Chains A and B, each alone.
Chain A
Amino acid sequence: MDSIPSISKPINGEGKPEFNTLDEPIRLTIVRDLKAVGNKFFHVLYPRQQTSLLTEWDLWGPLILCTFMALLLQGRSDSTDHDGGPEFAEVFVIVWVGAMAVTINTKLLGGTISFFQSVCVLGYCLLPLSIALALCRIVLLLQQNTLFFVLRCGFSLTAFFWAVWAAIKFLGDSSPPRRKILAGYPIGLFYFVIAWLVVSLSNS
């Protein structure tokens, strides 16, 4: 019989591809996709094996993280004292255009990774920075002084190094041997800019 290809990953535990997922309840679909996203988050935090992010890529995780960060990072434009924070759309542009630029760079240098796999990895590795952003937001609720600023810097810096380390672990093998630094530098720059946005978050 003709099988309708499923939308999510085709391999289930029995080793037989699951088809006909259009008939299942929506709750099941959402739960399965959320589980996949959660699984990838786990692998970003503890990078052990690469296959889950690379072979079964999806862009839900990056979208969730990007929206979350943009919501927290946007400055208030309605107040009279102009808060110079980025707009919601600016954060989106930075994240997505930045990820695309880094991916195109890797491919132009001769990398063997596909476009969406690379964007997926770069988006998922925003997770440490999102956690740092949430923590900074909590810290900002307290009274501000230099110590808390240093604390926020510390969160941001840790998250930056963690994100770069995770991304290099996933993407490192795909670039040609004599160009690893050339391919890795834009990744560092990308996460550095986002880390700077996290540090610059301020009460207004």
Chain B
Amino acid sequence: MDFTNKANDAEALLQFQDFGMGSTAAGKPPPYEQTHNFTDYPSSHVDIDEDQTQGPTQTAQSSQDNGPSMLTFAYYQRYFDVDTPQVKERLIWSFVPRPSRDTLTHYIRPSPDLYGPLWICVTLVFCVAIMGNIADYLHSGGEGQHWRYDFRKVSISASTIFSYALLLPLVLWLLLWWRRKEGDQAPLGFIEIVSLYGYSLAIYIPISVLLTIPFPFIQWTLVIVGAALSGSVLVFSLWPPLSASQRGMAVIILSAVLAFHFLLAAGLQLYFFRYSNDVVIVSNSAGTSHGHLRAVDSSTLDKVTELQPLSLIRAVEDYSPPETTNAETTVAKTTTIGVDFPATAIINNTKTEQEMIKSTHIKNTTSDLAPKKNQTITKLSTKILEESTTAV
């Protein structure tokens, strides 16, 4: 009796509990009990390409929700989710290379932002344009009549810098995406690469301020140091994901990255800040034994305009010295010619010291034209006219 009761009880206990479909509420699937829930999944790794790395046991609801769509404001808002200390930190680590903790993984990856790249690029554009104008102004010796400030520098610098900051990350991202094999760790997101590139341009802002110093040695030093520092940050950050697969390819890609970075800095320096103190002609008075030389520092022409040859001719015509060799001391105010416009000024010395000074590319003339005594102007104006008309 007891036993049967107990047996009945035991039997009741042993009875399989019937979770019929009707017993659950609203047809929801039974709750997971046996499988593991990965709750410590690193939520920081948010990729713009969804679903590649999401854990397999995310609940059904979250895998269908891709975040706000690209057309809404909130989509872009999550790329501006940074505070001031974070931005400061990222700025500093963008040009201080640290091999052990690279910038991308430790500072940018938690929340890649677009605030930094956007405003750094805009600042750099205006900084380069303004400093280029200041360099121009200083070179022309103050409020001279021949100084023109050039607003087109802004548009040119804007196109250069923004295309660098957007196109190179795009190429890099496409390269990584194309080379991705199955089972690899997830490639970098596009926004992360844009972020990294944008912050790496930050050091060029103080460098562009310093580039107004007119000595080429200092300029090149600044360019090399800046490109090396921020380029090395780029390389350290991009090495881990690139070298996961073929190493040789990674080395090639990274050297191309470094080369472009250096090219940008050099290009900015050469285009906006390259005003060497060129001496094209020297003059003296022909009959005196001690000819005094006046190195004529002249105004620079706008490198971009096509009016350049015309105004060059006009300027030379205004100041054309007499054709005869026995010229009085005249100051011929010539105009330096831009980098792309080679002019050959041949100065014949009819006196005892015969020196042919040929300046093929004006930018190399600083060391070539050592001032010598007793040189006369012979037919310089016609020569420059000939050269300019042939060059046009």
Partners in one complex: yes
A residues at B contact (CB < 8 Å): 75, 80-86, 90, 101, 105, 107-110, 144-146, 149, 178-182, 185-186, 189, 192-193, 196, 200, 202, 204
B33 at interface, CB cutoff 8 A: no
A sample of 10 more A-B contacts (CB under 8 A), given A108-B115, A178-B84, is A82-B307, A84-B149, A101-B122, A109-B80, A110-B77, A182-B83, A186-B122, A192-B126, A200-B149, A204-B148
B13 to chain A, nearest CB (A): 58
Inter-chain contacts of A145 with B (CB < 8 A): 143
Other-chain residue from A101, A144, A189, A192 in contact with B143 (beta carbon distance below 8 A): A144
Q: A84-B302, A109-B80, A196-B130 are in contact. Are A182 and B151 (CB under 8 A)?
A: no
A83–B83 contact, CB under 8 A? no
A85–B149 contact, CB under 8 A? yes
B312 at interface, CB cutoff 8 A: no
B residues at A contact (CB < 8 Å): 73, 76-77, 79-80, 82-85, 87, 115, 118-119, 122-123, 126, 130, 133, 142-143, 147-152, 302, 305, 307, 311, 314
A137 to chain B, nearest CB (A): 16
Q: A179-B84, A189-B123 are in contact. Are A81 and B130 (CB under 8 A)?
A: no
Main secondary structure of the interface of B (DSSP, over half): helix
| CB-CB nearest 8 A-B residue pairs | A84-B150, A108-B80, A178-B83, A86-B151, A84-B148, A200-B149, A181-B84, A84-B149
A105–B115 contact, CB under 8 A? yes
Report the bound CA distance from A149 to B134 in whole Å.
13
Inter-chain contacts of B122 with A (CB < 8 A): 101, 186, 189
A–B Cβ pairs within 8 angstroms, 16 of them: A75-B151, A84-B150, A105-B119, A108-B80, A108-B115, A109-B80, A110-B80, A145-B143, A146-B142, A146-B143, A179-B82, A181-B84, A182-B83, A186-B122, A193-B126, A196-B130
Report the bound CA distance from A182 to B119 in whole Å.
10
